[in-house]
Amino acid sequence: MTTPLERPKRKDPLERTQLPTRPPEGRSREALGLISVAGQAEFKLQTCATCNAVQYPPRQLCHQCLSPELPWVTQPDGGTLLAETTLHHSNDVYFRERLPWRLGLVRLDCGPSVVAHVMEDCAPGGRVRMSIKLDRSSRAVMLAMPVTGGKNMEEDLQLRETTCDPKLRRVLISNAKTTVGVGLAHAMLDAGARVLFLGNPDPWKRNAAFDDLAARPESEVFHLDVSDSESVHEVAGQIGSKVDILVNTSYHLRPGGIVTRKDVNDPRNEMDVNYFGLLRLAKEFGPVMRARGADGDFGACAWVNVLSIYALVNNPTLATYSASQAAALSLSQGLRNELAEGGIKVINVFPGPIEDEWQQLFPPPKVTPEALARAVLGALRNGTEDIYPGAVAEETIARLRENPKEVERELNL
């Protein structure tokens, strides 16, 4: 059974905050292909198109027939832990701060043997389930996990270095009054978040679901309006050093095209919330979260942006909204690069149409707030960087990977 983590104690404000370090980043160009696999939460390895030999580590030519055709193919994720050892000394600063560290040799069912990080519940000679995770350098690593999840498995320290489980962490939801915000708040509480910071941009607006959340003992409410720089600055000054996971649910959507609009007020508001709102949050919360990436077992670990699948391709019925989402996506990618210095994962969520007040007239299938919340929770627990909740988003991203121009033309019909 995994050793359970102790509930974090109140930190002494005079105690030194440990600065974040990063694991070694050196990888070959071929090995960087594993990053895409890890980002999609899949177990794929290079497989020779000529002789079907599975390759590991990644390489340019097949180790068996020297063919250069090595596509990434989904493989069985099972294996046997042949041997293991515990590292008690390291010259690398990152691992030195986290000793002891368990490593092992795993024979994969698909053929190769790999050196992997090994979780506490895995026994030598026993069966394990392999997973490709992104470490705090955003590089792919192999992790051996127990075949069946044991008690407290999500609290395994090596697993937590590659994931962002909200259990016992403090979570900020930028706009908890939306249907999506309410759904995410309940999901975080059910997952064991110890404190929930609820952003309330419209204190004058009554919302029974939000009021019920605010009454929970774990909840703290703040007047947070991402379109107001002073509001964001004030809230960041109060809780910026306490936020472990930030979930940006603030968005502004008004249906309409480009040339048919009579003015630019709606597009300006969309940019002010969707793009500049994210920028304001990043400027105020980003620096302190990055500095707290190694602040004990419960340091800052994740930033979640709820965007839209139309950030990837413009929907003519939501032309200016799609443009603002595309701008927010580009900003989020830049934020991911900067927060990586502190080991903070930036997770982008690309849902299709959502079942909420501003998308009532969209035809089904639509994503329910509960389904979206489950997808976000799964991404945090798996350490996945990009997710596409809902049938519309799943189909759109699959087709974009095959033929982006076809999707663009079809949306314009």
Q: How many domains does the chain have?
A: 2
Residues 123 and 179 reside in one and the same domain: no
Mean pLDDT of all residues belonging to the chain: 92
Would 26 be classed as within a structural domain?
Answer: no
Query: Would 12 be classed as within a structural domain?
Result: no
Same domain, 178 and 103: no
* Percent of residues, the chain, with pLDDT higher than 70: 99
How far lies 269's CA from each of 236, 251, 261, 338, 350, in Å? 22, 10, 14, 26, 21
* 267 and 314 in a common domain: yes
Q: Which of 160, 182, 217 is the last residue of a domain?
A: 160
Residue 9 falls within a domain, yes or no?
A: no
> Hey, which bits of 301-397 come out as E strands?
302-306, 345-349, 386-387
| Reported confidence tier of residue 328, pLDDT bands at 50, 70, 90 | very high
DSSP of 395-413: HHHHHHHH-HHHHHHHHT-
**What residues pair up with 175 in beta bridges, in sequence order?**
none
Counting beta carbons within 10 angstroms of the beta carbon of residue 359, is it exposed (0 to 12), middle (13 to 18) or buried (19 or more)?
middle
Q: Quick one: pLDDT band at residue 249, thresholds 50, 70, 90?
A: very high
Within this chain, do residues 135 and 238 fall inside the same structural domain, yes or no? no
Q: How confident is the model at residue 342 (pLDDT cuts 50, 70, 90)?
A: very high
Final residue in a domain of this structure, among 160, 181, 197:
160
**Cα–Cα distance for residue pair 90/150, rounded to 1 Å:** 29
pLDDT over 80 (residue 229):
yes
Q: Residue 412: what pLDDT?
A: 66
Higher pLDDT, 17 or 339: 339
pTM of the predicted protein model? 0.92
Q: Compute the distance between CA of residue 371 and CA of residue 5 in angstroms, rounded to an integer.
A: 29
Please list the residues that pair with 81 across neighbouring strands: 106
| CA nearest to 252, candidates 320, 183, 185 | 320
What is the Cα–Cα distance from 343 to 330, expressed in whole angstroms? 20
User: Do 100 and 87 form a contact (C-beta atoms < 8 A)?
Assistant: yes
Under 8 Å between Cβ of 120 and 156: yes
Asked if residue 151 and residue 174 are part of one domain, the reply reads: no
CATH number at residue 323: 3.40.50.720
The C-alpha angle 74, 79, 82, rounded to 5 degrees, equals 145
Q: What CA–CA distance (Å, rounded) separates 219 from 334?
A: 31
In this predicted structure, the answer to whether residue 12 has a pLDDT above a threshold of 80 is: no
Asked if residue 180 is part of any domain, the answer here is yes
Asked if 90 and 117 sit in the same domain, the reply is yes
Q: To 10 degrees, the CA torsion angle through 181, 177, 291, 345?
A: 20
Average pLDDT of the residues in 64-90 = 95
User: Of the ranges 97-101, 330-334, 380-384, which is most confident?
Assistant: 330-334
DSSP code of residue 350 = -
Tell whether 7 is covered by a domain: no
In this structure, are 97 and 184 located in the same domain? no
Average pLDDT for 207-217: 94
Q: Are residues 185 and 154 in the same domain?
A: no
12 exposure class (CB count in 10 Å sphere: 0-12, 13-18, 19+): exposed
Candidate from 17-21, 115-119, 284-288, 388-392 with smallest mean pLDDT: 17-21
> Which of 160, 180, 208 is the C-terminal boundary of a domain?
160
94: phi then psi, degrees, rounded to nearest 5: -60, -50
pLDDT in tens, 290-309: 999 988 778 899 999 999 99
**Is the same domain home to 153 and 203?**
no
Q: Which two tokens stand for residue 379?
A: 């991404």
If you average pLDDT over residues 249-270, what whole number do you get? 92
Of 194, 140, 141, 142, nearest to 165 by C-alpha is: 194
- Output DSSP code: residue 375: H
Same domain, 249 and 315: yes
Which pLDDT score is estimated for 230? 97
Mean pLDDT, to the nearest integer, of 21-27? 84
In the predicted model, is pLDDT for residue 131 greater than 90?
yes
Where are any strands of DSSP class E within 5-136? 44-46, 72-74, 78-87, 101-108, 113-118, 127-134
Distance of CA 300 to the CA centre of its chain: 13
Judge if 222 and 367 occupy the same domain.
yes
Q: State whether 225 and 84 are in the same domain.
A: no
Start-to-end Cα distance in the chain? 56
Rounded average pLDDT over 184-191: 96
Query: Per-residue confidence at 408, pLDDT binned at 50, 70, 90?
Result: confident
Mean pLDDT of the 5-13 span:
74
Q: Give me the pLDDT at residue 126, please.
A: 95
Say how many C-beta atoms besides its own lie within 10 A of residue 18's C-beta.
Answer: 14
pLDDT of 7 > 80? The answer is no
> Is 255 exposed, middle or buried, given 0-12, 13-18 or 19+ CB atoms closer than 10 A?
middle
- Which uninterrupted H or E stretch holds 223? none
Burial grade of 201 (CB within 10 A; 0-12, 13-18, 19 or more):
buried
Q: Is residue 27 part of a domain?
A: no
CA nearest to 8, candidates 242, 172, 326, 257? 242
Dump pLDDT digits (tens) for 359-373.
888 888 999 999 999
Q: What pLDDT is attached to residue 19?
A: 82
Distance CA 370, CA 390 (A): 11
pLDDT at 54 over 60: yes
User: What pLDDT is stored for residue 1 in this prediction?
Assistant: 65
Q: Is 90 exceeded by the pLDDT of residue 413?
A: no
The CA-CA-CA angle for residues 261, 266, 268, to 5°, reads 115
Domain region containing 227:
170-411
